[in-house]
Amino acid sequence: MDIELSNEDLEFRNEVRAFFEENAYKNGEDFNKWRMDWFAKAREKGGWDVPKWPKEFGGPGWTPTQHYIWEQETATANLPWDLPFGLGMLAPVLMAHGSKEQQDRFLPDIRDRKVNWCQGYSEPGAGSDLAGLKTKAELSADGTHYVVNGTKIWTTMAHIADWIFCLTRTDDSGIKQQGITFLLFPMKQEGIEVKPIITLGGSHSVNTVFLTDVKVPVENRIGEEGQGWTYAKGLLQHERTGLAGISRSLVALEKLKEQAASVPRGNATLMDDPAFRGKIAELEVDLWATEYTELRSLASAAAGAAPGPESSILKLKGTEIQQRIQKLTVEAGGIYSASWGAKPAGPAFAKNGMGGYMSSRAYTIYGGASEVQKDVIAKNVLQIKRSSK
């Protein structure tokens, strides 16, 4: 695709930059108020608060190049935090498969950032083999509600979430992809217990969620009973595209080069070291190649297509690149990177080196492990058939 910026595109870029500058957080401001005002003003710009939503649901209806510009500019701007679960994952499923009532009920609160969602997919025995999930949902005798029992694990932000979108099993008589039902229910209710899991990076973001006789009204079911696998897969493709983080990596790589140029090595700096430069060059080439794949994906999304299996290429390459940046940051920080958690020493950037590296181990696991993405690419992009032997 052509990414030469036209005069209109340059004008759009200036407008985006001006918006970010005018609405930047100012020291001492009430953070929550600033965050909500920011989204309200972005909405007034014509759907800038929901850039990836289609026009018919209030999105801006940008061209692929405008999306590209937005991605580039958001990577360096200081934007209010946003969780992806409602806005980027559940919303597209509601738009494609939810009833009009469900769209009217849930989309406005997602857009207004009033309700935090979490994703109840993985279970202790069902991660890569997600279709093997066992959390059971039984329809009540009067057909008004489901009773849900089971355990979800690795549920990000379950401890602050108001609602969960949850895969449940309503029938186990057929193949495992059949009989899965997609339910929505509030987290703050009887029968739900959330226990924290502290990860390698030392932070609390994931949890185990125990579900005991949780009542879910049938009107909270997305689509048809037993058809949840189709909806779940569509959501995963949106999730995977969102995890690639290409623009952020482009910025992080430039920062890494600056950091390496500040580390003395002999009479010069680490950035002059041929071995280190080689690693940076290899990373940069991979990053550019992945950026072009993202641009193709943006172009088809802007033309109205849902993300396809190519989202697995973005997830695979994008997360590996993020990990390589973290690894080289630790390398650039040298022995000082090891002072993680203790009193920092050496260059300032080394302080977060090891914590970032540890946390980055999860990037190639969540949203579907790298091996699973390779399987999807082999089957659905390269059309390689499994050997019958």
Contact 160, 116 (CB under 8 A): yes
Instruction: Measure CA of the first residue to CA of the last residue in the chain; give whole Å.
Output: 41
Query: Among 68, 106, 154, 231, which residue sits at the site for ligand FAD (rule: CB under 6 A)?
Result: 154
Cα 137 from Cα 196, distance rounded (Å): 24
Binding of ligand FAD by 319 (CB under 6 A): no
Residue 343 CB contacts under 8 Å (≥ 6 apart), including other chains = none
What are the beta bridge partners of residue 151? 210
Binding of ligand FAD by 156 (CB under 6 A): yes
Q: What are the φ/ψ torsions at residue 58 (nearest 5 degrees)? A: 100, 5
Q: Which one, of 115, 117, 31, 111, lies nearest residue 79 by Cα?
A: 31
Task: Give the nearer residue to ligand FAD in terms of CB position, either 269 or 359.
Answer: 359
Question: Shortest distance, CB of residue 155 to ligand FAD, whole angstroms?
Answer: 5
Contact 357, 331 (CB under 8 A): no
Query: Among 75, 365, 377, 378, which residue sits at the site for ligand FAD (rule: CB under 6 A)?
Result: 365
Binding of ligand FAD by 368 (CB under 6 A): yes
Query: Among 133, 148, 235, 362, which residue sits at the site for ligand FAD (rule: CB under 6 A)?
Result: 362
Apex CA 100: angle with CA 99 and CA 105, to 5°?
Answer: 95
Contact 370, 320 (CB under 8 A): yes
Q: Which residue is nearest to ligand FAD (CB)?
A: 127
Question: Shortest distance, CB of residue 389 to ligand FAD, whole angstroms?
Answer: 17
Active site residue 190: no
Binding of ligand FAD by 194 (CB under 6 A): no
Q: Which one, of 85, 83, 64, lies nearest residue 236 by Cα?
A: 85
- How many residues are given for the chain? 389
Q: What are the φ/ψ torsions at residue 240 (nearest 5 degrees)? A: -65, -40
Binding of ligand FAD by 249 (CB under 6 A): no
What is the x/- site pattern for ligand FAD, positions 94-133, by CB under 6 A?
A: -------------------------xxxx----xx-----
Contact 381, 312 (CB under 8 A): yes
Identified catalytic residue from 225, 239, 291, 294: 239
Q: String of b and e for 53-91 (b: at least 16 CB within 10 Å)? A: bbeeebbbebbbbbbbbbbbbbbeeebbeebbbbbbbbb
Binding of ligand FAD by 366 (CB under 6 A): yes
CA 215, distance to chain mean position in Å, is 29
The interface region with ligand FAD, picked from 19-27, 54-62, 153-161, 350-358 by CB under 6 A, is 153-161
Query: Among 369, 377, 378, 379, which residue sits at the site for ligand FAD (rule: CB under 6 A)?
Result: 369
Contact 214, 188 (CB under 8 A): no
Binding of ligand FAD by 380 (CB under 6 A): no
Question: Shortest distance, CB of residue 151 to ligand FAD, whole angstroms?
Answer: 11
Task: Give the nearer residue to ligand FAD in terms of CB position, either 20 or 366.
Answer: 366
Contact 306, 96 (CB under 8 A): yes
Task: Give the nearer residue to ligand FAD in terms of CB position, either 251 or 358.
Answer: 358
Query: Among 102, 155, 227, 360, which residue sits at the site for ligand FAD (rule: CB under 6 A)?
Result: 155
The interface region with ligand FAD, picked from 108-116, 140-148, 150-158, 350-358 by CB under 6 A, is 150-158
What are the beta bridge partners of residue 214? 148
Binding of ligand FAD by 180 (CB under 6 A): no
The interface region with ligand FAD, picked from 227-235, 285-293, 311-319, 360-368 by CB under 6 A, is 360-368
Contact 368, 236 (CB under 8 A): yes
Task: Give the nearer residue to ligand FAD in terms of CB position, either 145 or 315.
Answer: 315
Question: Shortest distance, CB of residue 227 to ligand FAD, whole angstroms?
Answer: 19
Task: Give the nearer residue to ligand FAD in terms of CB position, either 76 or 156.
Answer: 156
Task: Give the nearer residue to ligand FAD in terms of CB position, either 301 or 365.
Answer: 365
**Beta strand pairing call for 136-139 and 145-153:** antiparallel
Query: Which residues of this protein are in contact with ligand FAD, per CB under 6 A?
Result: 119-122, 127-128, 154-156, 199, 206, 362, 365-366, 368-369, 371-372
The residues annotated as belonging to the active site are: 239
